[in-house]
Amino acid sequence: MSPGVGTEEHADRLLAYGVADPALREAVVLGLADVEAAVHDAVRSADPLADDAAGHLVRAGGKRTRPLLCLLAAELGTPGPLVVDAAVVVELTHLATLYHDDVIDSATVRRGVPAAQEVWGNTVAILTGDLLFARASVIGARLGPAAVSIQARTFERLVLGEMRETVGPRDGEDPVAHYLQVLSDKTGSLIATSARFGGMFSGLDEATQDVLVRYGDKVGVAFQLADDVLDLAADRADSGKTPGTDLREHVPTLPVLLLRRAVSAGEAPAGSGDLLDTLDGDLTDDAVLADTVARLREHPVTGEARAEARRWAADAVDALAPLPVSPARDALAAVAEALADRTG
């Protein structure tokens, strides 16, 4: 096993997600080991700088959520030889977006290590993301024209989501609805493709693949909403980044959007306006940030955001209803619920 995520970690994570069937767990853990080795191979380069930069976040680990969902979806059918390649494509695509996102968001830490631009600068970080997209495309070509088309449309949604997030809601557009659409584009689209690829390369029909797309899109939104709440967590280990990073960089998150809406409508508890003013101000001071994180964590809007994450997860589980009962379907439902329950 290459450095990064070990087999025991994969097995422990599946147990934590509530994947109950031992045979299913074993099959998916073996698949994830193959994916892990293939991802490490894919980021290697003869050029020392490219090799170091492209492997930076791979070596840091990560949950490998997208490959996991791809492999679990494949267990609904008969996994074919291209399932691992498909899982590698979605993971490399995800890694590429992380390099770009960290530059856009001026993040300093990712997965518990310095963000790439902190080590090599913005230009190299962006080019590394481009390189990973290219590597994903090379492997994706093995999957055939239909998969290449799906991957291209997914990439289009990722970019459009980033653009919409950068520009913000249009005049008269509900900021919360805008934000949920951004999450669907930026996170839901690739998770939906992960599940769809699992179905495609295990012989499932189009109708079943459509079920997996609906499931994956909702899981993606739930996953990101849970991360919004985790940004307020006291333990960096939960998310691999310093608590309050999104707040400090004034990145929109659901708790802040809900707070802004409640204050605007005059429906917020006493002190909410002051909290919002602080959130909109300078949060570079660590003590100020820590105090603001603590105040927002205890505010009712954070509970509302947590409930919204769980609602999207429940909708994802409901989307699986057309599928026959099986250990794989149960596992997909358990993962959706576990991802939302990370919020505590």
Residue 105 lies in a domain: yes
Dihedral sign of CA atoms 238, 227, 321, 208 in order = negative
Residue 2 lies in a domain: no
Of 213, 226, 247, 212, nearest to 183 by C-alpha is 226
Task: Record the pTM.
Answer: 0.91
Q: Which two tokens stand for residue 199?
A: 């179905």
Give the tens place of pLDDT for each residue, 158-215.
Answer: 999 999 998 999 999 999 999 999 999 999 999 999 999 999 999 999 999 999 999 9
Give the tens place of pLDDT for each residue, 250-284.
Answer: 888 999 999 999 999 999 899 999 999 999 999 99
State the angle between helix axes of 206-230 and 300-319 in degrees (0 to 180), rounded to the nearest 10.
170
Q: Which residues make beta-bridge pairs with 109?
A: 114
Please, which pLDDT band fits residue 100 given cuts at 50, 70 and 90? confident
Residue 89 lies in a domain: yes
Residue 260 lies in a domain: yes
Whether the CB-CB separation of 214 and 319 falls below 8 Å is answered with yes
Count of the separate structural domains present in the chain: 1
Q: What is the CATH number of the domain that holds 43?
A: 1.10.600.10
List, in order, residues 6 or more apart from 339 with CB less than 8 Å away: 17, 65, 219, 222, 223, 226, 313
Distances (CA, A) of 332 to 233, 239, 337: 26, 22, 9
Neighbouring C-beta atoms of residue 271, cutoff 10 Å:
10
Residue 292 lies in a domain: yes
pLDDT at 108 over 60: yes
Whether the CB-CB separation of 219 and 339 falls below 8 Å is answered with yes
Neighbouring C-beta atoms of residue 158, cutoff 10 Å:
22
Interatomic CA distance for residues 98 and 54, integer angstroms: 11
Q: Which two tokens stand for residue 95?
A: 């890694």
Question: CA-CA-CA-CA torsion for 62, 7, 139, 45, nearest 10 degrees?
Answer: 70
pLDDT at 94 over 70: yes
Give the tens place of pLDDT for each residue, 37-80.
Answer: 999 998 887 677 888 888 777 887 778 999 999 999 999 999 99
Which pLDDT score, from 0 to 100, does residue 15 have? 85
Of 56, 171, 31, 70, nearest to 121 by C-alpha is 56
Residue 192 lies in a domain: yes
Please, which pLDDT band fits residue 24 given cuts at 50, 70 and 90? very high
Residue 1 lies in a domain: no
Whether the CB-CB separation of 190 and 93 falls below 8 Å is answered with yes
Which pLDDT score, from 0 to 100, does residue 58 have? 80
Give the tens place of pLDDT for each residue, 262-271.
Answer: 999 999 899 9
Q: Which helix (H) or strand (E) segment is 316 a member of?
A: helix 300-319
Alpha-helical segments (H) within 172-253: 175-183, 189-200, 206-230, 245-248
List, in order, residues 6 or more apart from 19 with CB less than 8 Å away: 25, 28, 72, 331, 334, 335
Q: Is 16 helix (H, G, I), strand (E, B) or coil?
A: helix
**What mean pLDDT value characterizes the chain?**
90
Residue 141 lies in a domain: yes
Residue-range definition of the domain harbouring residue 31: 7-341
Neighbouring C-beta atoms of residue 203, cutoff 10 Å:
13
